[in-house]
Structure 1
């Protein structure tokens, strides 16, 4: 009787291992594609959809303000408005600059006091900022809270800073990217460009004078009553006056530094 010698088929084992490896790689590829699609959708939502929503809401707020004003902004006497408070209680979220170093230099002047009242009132827009060079028309609200103000596509006034047209520094913050990105192109502003602020029955025109392309988020001097960088002392002003300050993040899609644009109030007729 012949002995039966078992035959070992090595090729079949290799094919099984190869098939298993292919399955693992395929599953990994599917997972990578799925994660990529999810990330892409999140980016589209953040960069595109939030912009559409915020821009639409901001435009409607501007229209609502102009309807409430009744006339062309800046024309005629100022009708009575709610009392204004130079010490708003709205607590901003972590922001580009602390408001502690800036205060209104003329608290007794109505134009120097930001809008007040309940938080819902403070979060509503009370003015419109127009920048002809950029084709920008955007509402201005009290405070720089992200959810309540900035993420709506509004520009927010730093608490404690001077109001439009007043002595001191009317300091504003706005997103550069996403949520309406009203300040995306403020880096294109040049000396002599106009920054127009409309309120009920009043119009204030500022003229861009100086810019600071980059400073730290702790450079509180740029929103002081006499704005001057404490990080780069060569930038800013040294004399009291009526100023406007625009601040936003830089470089684009980053919040590492701050970009600053300053202007001075053009004397009225």
Structure 2
């Protein structure tokens, strides 16, 4: 009887040892899952909350700085001829998820057809460099007030919470198409609610030279990121040709990603100059 009892002891010990090993594995797996979950949560908080706080603060400071400078320093009219706020760099400098349209416009911007501000000739100024802010965009319908910077680079412009001006498109107030891009989500998300705009809503662009008011005229809910027609001088979608214009004018184009939290398609808002 004693021999049989002794033979059973190792079996019991092995079972307990196996259970302890399994428990340790499960505990380690649970800790790993929790740790990964916390890291993912922190990443989401950083992307959806912290980047917005940082970018909005910087954008707000830039708007105040620009307008304070303009209020102190009046416009300077140069006699060297019309200049452009754009550069001829390719608009493809921004990433596909930045709310921009891939591809550059076919023409460089021109200020020569800008409305006169009382002197008979539009003021001219040196074109801003990539990343430089030169205008303030306001959309009362969605409570937006944001600086506009030259170019659509993520690091220099869009991720700072600014709206980017497509290189090669028109200057504010000029004949042609003032094409702008902005984030729909994260990094200040200035164009988060542009889908709420309706025909007739006003949009203003203030520069050192003056304030230009546009009125929303058409909205293209969905198009391809490669639909370069929407930012041409006479904007018209090459994907959905029923959207757009057929004659020269003074246009404003806003582009951003859609649906929200994706970069699969583009949402486009067009407006025409009123004053």
TM-score range, shorter chain: 0.7 to 0.9
Change over 3 Å in CA distance of 1:15–1:250 after alignment to 2: same
Retained in 1: the 8 A contact 2:113–2:175?
A: no
Retained in 2: the 8 A contact 1:215–1:258?
A: yes
Change over 3 Å in CA distance of 1:87–1:190 after alignment to 2: closer
SS of the equivalent of 2:8 reads: coil
The answer as to 2:213 corresponding to 1:205 is yes
The answer as to 2:127 corresponding to 1:116 is yes
Report deviation, 1:107.
5.6
SS of the equivalent of 1:204 reads: strand
Report deviation, 1:42.
1.1
CA distance in 1, matches of 2:228, 2:234: 11
Question: Any idea what the Cα deviations from partners look like across 1:179-211, whole Å, max 9, x if unmatched?
Answer: 000000000000000010001141100000110
Change over 3 Å in CA distance of 1:122–1:112 after alignment to 2: farther
**1:78 aligned residue:** 75
**1:8 aligned residue:** 8
CA distance in 1, matches of 2:130, 2:147: 13
The answer as to 2:168 corresponding to 1:167 is no
Question: Any idea what the Cα deviations from partners look like across 1:60-101, whole Å, max 9, x if unmatched?
Answer: 0000001100169xxxx7334798446615552335323423
Q: Which runs of 5+ in 2 are unaligned?
A: 115-121
Report deviation, 1:113.
8.4
Deviates further, 131-140 or 7-16: 7-16
CA distance in 2, matches of 1:211, 1:27: 53
Instruction: Pick from 217, 224, 239 the counterpart of residue 231 of structure 1.
Output: 239
Report deviation, 1:115.
6.0
Instruction: Pick from 82, 96, 101 the counterpart of residue 97 of structure 1.
Output: 101
SS of the equivalent of 1:7 reads: helix
Instruction: Pick from 263, 267, 275 the counterpart of residue 255 of structure 1.
Output: 263
Aligned residues between the structures: 259
**1:52 aligned residue:** 53
Retained in 2: the 8 A contact 1:113–1:163?
A: no
Instruction: Pick from 134, 140, 146 the counterpart of residue 154 of structure 2.
Output: 146
TM-score scaled to structure 1, two decimals?
A: 0.88
SS of the equivalent of 2:185 reads: coil
TM-score scaled to structure 2, two decimals?
A: 0.86
Q: What CA RMSD, in Å, does the superposition of the two structures yield over aligned residues?
A: 2.6
